[in-house]
Amino acid sequence: MTTVPASWYAFLGVLLFTIGALGVLVRRNLIIMFMAIELMLNAVNLVFVAFARQQQTMDGQVMVFFVMTVAAAEAAVGLAIILAVFRNRETVNADEVNLLRW
């Protein structure tokens, strides 16, 4: 049995968060950008669970449920908005959604 310190999980969470944040900034496909945002939120979940383990408290694990709920609500509204854009513009490329100056 190998043991892994809780802080390593926290670092992994921060690493995943960074990948997600870079994804939003670099990628131009709206669906991919949205997936990257989801990655950021779930990376934070990992950080919460790791810290909850480290602090020996359940609070951090409860928060994950709230974050998941919020992520689901955001997904519903976000995908609806992307769909509305696609209906009117026939594109999911962020660079082509440029009626207003970005």
Should residue 33 be labelled a site residue for another protein when binding is judged by CB under 8 A? yes
Rounded Cα distance, 88 and 97, in Å: 10
Q: How far is the CB of 4 from another protein (least distance, A)?
A: 17
2 vs 95, which CB is nearer to another protein? 95
Residue 35 as a binder of another protein (CB under 8 A): the answer is no
Q: Quick one: which of 22, 55, 68, 93 contacts another protein (CB under 8 A)?
A: 55
Shortest CA distance to 92 belongs to which of 39, 35, 38, 44?
A: 35
The one-letter code for the residue type at 8 is W
CB of 3 to another protein, least distance (A): 19
Return the HEC string of 10-79. HHHHHHHHHHHHHHHHHCCEHHHHHHHHHHHHHHHHHHHHHHHHHHCCCHHHHHHHHHHHHHHHHHHHHH
Positions touching another protein (CB under 8 A) are 10, 13-14, 17, 20-21, 24, 30, 33-34, 37, 40-41, 43-44, 47-48, 50-51, 54-55, 57, 59-60, 63, 66-67, 70, 73-74, 77-78, 80-82, 84-85, 88-89, 94, 97, 99-102
